[in-house]
Amino acid sequence: MSVIYTRVALIGLGLIAGSMAHAMRRAGLAGEIVGSARSPETRAIAAEIGLCDRITETAAEAVKGADLVVLCVPPGAMGAVAAEIAPHLAQGATVTDVGSVKRDVITQVGPHLPQGVHFVPGHPLAGTEHSGPRAGFAELFDNRYVLLTPEPDTDPAATAKLRALWEGCGARVEEMDADHHDLVLAVTSHTPHLIAYTMVGVADDLRRVTDSEVIKYSAAGFRDFTRIAASDPTMWRDVFLTNKEATLEILGRFTEELFALQRAIRRGDGDHLHAYFTRTRAIRRGIIEAGQDTDAPDFGRVKVKREPTER
Ligand code: NAP
């Protein structure tokens, strides 16, 4: 594949920026990758592992001469970063972001960007519960969706170029209205995370169970909740603060359904439970068929065969 952007500036050097750097390198999509993070520790690690061609102390310095700027900071920090870089952006450059919420990011970032700079918001639907510059890997976006949410007045050529970059990183790209994105993600990601946080919190409250039994007997259900509930607290705090309306809407519906299931259990209404679980099972099949998860037993976890240790 050939170079799509001459100079890409990554602002924030965590899991997503790191994975983008690896994926762009793998396909030779960027002439130069410049990175910047607020803390000296993160910049030092990024330099040590050679994440970017160049690391700068400030975001303002990183964006100079870049034809693509990617904001890879938590959703709540996007506006402040946009204000910092705005006077230093090159004419004709594209600014994008990878934030998990779109409308609020557009509201924060848009007003800071000067005329002649294109803003194409984006969100890769790929991640892990790990953070920081060492967490990134080139395959993160392979076959995963990236949603771009350009506003109606966004230059289609800028969107098309960014689409090509993401496709070069292995992703499938779709365009969507920002509000619709936030509602869809409230259903598929934000509310499920909140439920996982709650379930793990409930278990933690039941001290007599958690002390040892929750860990010792952690079966697939709870164990998978704990993986989700280990996600970055800053990012997820910001997700709920910036996607408030859609999350509250879905949470309201969730609570109603929960009460209905609670009533079915109390009344011994097995038919209701069975019909409900049959419907939900079909959704899992759809996800497997769409290639978005594995149907290997135990979610494809590799069993490590333990050799007896010598004494
Ligand atoms: P991460 O690994 O925690 O990295 C975050 C980066 O942002 C770090 O370099 C951090 O700098 C910097 N940062 C944090 N707070 C900041 C602030 N107030 N001002 C300036 N910089 C700040 O996070 P990530 O997982 O890559 O997430 C980055 C973005 O991707 C978020 O907007 C998130 O919504 C989105 N996203 C995440 C996932 C996921 O699963 N993780 C998936 C899709 C999209 P220091 O290291 O110097 O503190």
Tens digits of per-residue pLDDT, 244-253?
Answer: 999 999 999 9
Higher pLDDT, 152 or 290: 152
Q: Ligand 1 pocket, 59 CB below 6 A?
A: no
- For residue 38, which atom of ligand 1 is closest to its CA? 47
Using the predicted structure, report yes or no on whether residue 308 has a pLDDT greater than 50.
no
Q: Ligand 1 pocket, 65 CB below 6 A?
A: no
Q: How far is the CA of 16 from the centre of ligand 1 (A)?
A: 7
Tens digits of per-residue pLDDT, 16-66?
Answer: 999 999 999 999 999 999 999 999 999 999 999 999 999 999 999 999 999
φ, ψ for residue 102, nearest 5 deg: -110, -45
Q: How far is the CA of 131 from the centre of ligand 1 (A)?
A: 8
Q: Are 301 and 218 in contact (CB under 8 A)?
A: no
303: pLDDT confidence band, cut at 50, 70 and 90?
A: low
* Total-model pTM: 0.92
DSSP for 106-140?
A: HHHHGGGSPTT-EE--EEES---S--SGGG--GGG
260: pLDDT confidence band, cut at 50, 70 and 90?
A: very high
The Cα-based distances of 170 to 20, 141, 159, 167, 300 in angstroms read 10, 6, 17, 5, 21
Using the predicted structure, report yes or no on whether residue 210 has a pLDDT greater than 90.
no
Using the predicted structure, report yes or no on whether residue 4 has a pLDDT greater than 90.
yes
Per-chain mean pLDDT for the chain: 92
The 8-class DSSP code of residue 38 comes to S
Q: Ligand 1 pocket, 74 CB below 6 A?
A: yes
Interacting residues of 239 by C-beta distance below 8 A, sequence separation 6+: 75, 100, 101, 190, 193, 247
Beta-bridge partners for 251: none
307: pLDDT confidence band, cut at 50, 70 and 90?
A: very low
